[in-house]
């Protein structure tokens, strides 16, 4: 069953994520594909995540197709103008890639080539509009295509906001993304089911499927780093204390169990889960089993 079919049929959809490596070695990518196929509905393939230069996400997504794992091709607007973005989208469709996640992208200064110039010809909303237009058989200038794609397009949304104004901005951006063609949403990592329930009650009127984001905690330092450096993520103190109190040899198990508990608590509130294991990709099936998925 495809991701689109899973979501549209009302099945609780499951996706995960992995990033291409820095270099031409694809052995680990192929290992992840073997572990994950048949377990998840689809896997996000990141696009130069955190502005760090890596193997092409488009090529990695094509490897997923070849290996029998349905990819969600993440596409950022940081590195390509509208010509290149549309061209890569057409190429993705030809290679059998059906799902696209539209992102604006991190600033180049945050990555390993800080001197690089960001493009940002489009943003996530206008990229979604471009995908919609391609699905209709036209490019952004109105020129007819010879053969058209039929992408299942998604977007991201942050659940946690520091201020009421920031929360309102997220809701407004979500509405714009839906109007531009987003058919599903994946959230930034969520650690507070109460906040998530509040958010879901606010957006249920949009009638667009939401997949809650989960990042398993590896240690207390990892959690504190996200709190300090990743916008839209807030790990509660009690969860940081729990992972910190675990013996070193038990931390992995505790982190996986905590992720599974969060999935169980938030599953009734949403339409799917997006597990971002960050180096623990091979443990995604274990998290799923622990969560009863």
Q: Could you report the per-residue pLDDT of 30-64, keeping only the tens digit for each?
A: 999 999 999 999 999 999 988 899 999 999 999 99
Q: In this predicted structure, what is the pLDDT of residue 222? A: 87
Q: Which residues make Cβ contacts (< 8 Å) with residue 196, sequence separation at least 6?
A: 159, 187, 190, 212, 266, 269, 270
What domains does the chain contain, in order, with CATH numbers? Answer: 3-282 (3.20.20.220)
Rg (CA), the chain: 18
Structure tokens at 84: 């290149």
Helix (H) or strand (E) holding 214: strand 210-214
Average pLDDT, the chain: 95
Read off φ and ψ for residue 248, nearest 5 degrees.
Answer: -50, -40
Read off φ and ψ for residue 149, nearest 5 degrees.
Answer: -85, 180
Nearest to 156 by CA among 178, 140, 135, 131: 178
Average pLDDT per consecutive 10 residues, the chain (293 residues; last block may be shorter): 94 95 94 96 94 94 97 97 98 98 92 93 98 98 98 96 86 97 97 95 96 95 88 88 91 95 98 94 96 95
Q: In this predicted structure, what is the pLDDT of residue 211? A: 98
Residue written as token pair 């996530």:
124
Q: Are 213 and 188 in contact (CB under 8 A)?
A: yes
Structure tokens at 205: 């009127």
Q: Could you report the per-residue pLDDT of 191-240, keeping only the tens digit for each?
A: 999 999 999 999 999 999 999 999 999 999 989 988 888 877 899 999 99
Q: In this predicted structure, what is the pLDDT of residue 207? A: 95
Q: In this predicted structure, what is the pLDDT of residue 89? A: 98
Return d(Cα 199, Cα 172) in angstroms, integer.
13
């Amino acid at each position: 069953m495809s991701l689109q079919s899973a979501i549209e049929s009302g099945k609780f959809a499951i996706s995960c994520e992995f990033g291409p490596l820095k270099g031409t070695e694809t052995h680990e990518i192929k290992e992840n594909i073997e572990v994950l196929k048949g377990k998840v509905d689809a896997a996000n393939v990141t696009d130069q995540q955190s502005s760090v230069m890596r193997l092409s996400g488009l090529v990695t997504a094509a490897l997923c197709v070849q290996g029998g794992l349905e990819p969600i091709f993440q596409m950022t607007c940081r590195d390509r103008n509208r010509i290149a973005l549309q061209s890569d989208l057409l190429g993705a469709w030809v290679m059998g890639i059906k799902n696209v996640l539209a992102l604006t992208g991190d600033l180049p200064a945050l990555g390993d080539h800080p001197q690089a110039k960001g493009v940002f010809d489009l943003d996530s909303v206008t990229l979604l509009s471009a995908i919609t237009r391609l699905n209709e058989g036209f490019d952004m200038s109105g020129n007819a295509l010879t053969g058209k794609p039929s992408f299942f397009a998604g977007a991201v949304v942050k659940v946690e906001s520091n201020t009421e104004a920031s929360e309102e901005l997220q809701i407004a951006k979500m509405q714009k993304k839906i109007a531009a063609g987003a058919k599903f949403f994946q959230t930034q990592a969520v650690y507070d089911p109460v906040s998530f329930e509040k958010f879901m009650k606010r957006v249920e009127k949009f009638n667009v499927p939401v997949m809650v984001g989960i990042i398993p905690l590896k240690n207390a330092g990892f959690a504190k780093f996200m709190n300090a450096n990743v916008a839209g993520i807030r790990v509660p103190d009690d969860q940081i204390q729990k992972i910190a109190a675990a013996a070193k040899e038990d931390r992995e198990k505790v982190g996986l169990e905590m992720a599974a508990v969060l999935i169980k608590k938030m599953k009734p509130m949403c339409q799917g889960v997006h597990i971002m294991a960050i180096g623990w990709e091979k443990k995604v099936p274990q998290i799923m089993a622990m969560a009863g998925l």
